[in-house]
Amino acid sequence: MPVEIERKFLVKSDAWREGATATPIRQGYVFADPAKNVRVRTLGDLGFITIKARRQGAGVSEFEYEIPLTDALELLELACEQPVIEKVRYTRDEHGHTWEIDVFKAANAGLIMAEVELRHAGEPVQLPGWVGEEVTGDPRYYNANLFKNPYHNWKDQL
């Protein structure tokens, strides 16, 4: 069973931009609650459907399958809760890890998060200088919650 173990951080500077590659993402949720969700995503010109279920301890069971882009676009409009999340994902390698930096748009504009996937829960990670506060355990920052309660609704309360 595939397990995703990741840590999420806010981004405190633009130093990550040099050498990063960008891919636009649109994603929506057919079903989302704290324990499990079903997500549809376009990643550039590819489509995916993903099922995630939280596990005890670190990690999430994740099952992701490529689907035709036309199916993903139709599902985003017909089957997903609205609004869908729009963001641009940048990737770059630092200190032996690949970092994904998401620059959110629309209702989540202003939010920039970085995440790094780990092979196991105790794996050490050297944080780049542009990485800020860790938000791994804060449910406000879960994508499955950002469409329900977008960043623009609560950013001034931070």
- Of the residues 29, 65, 141, 142, only one is catalytic, namely 29
Beta carbons within 10 angstroms of residue 21's beta carbon? 8
Beta bridge partners of 131: 11
Catalytic (active site) residue 141? no
Structure tokens at 99: 């970092």
Active-site residues: which are they?
29
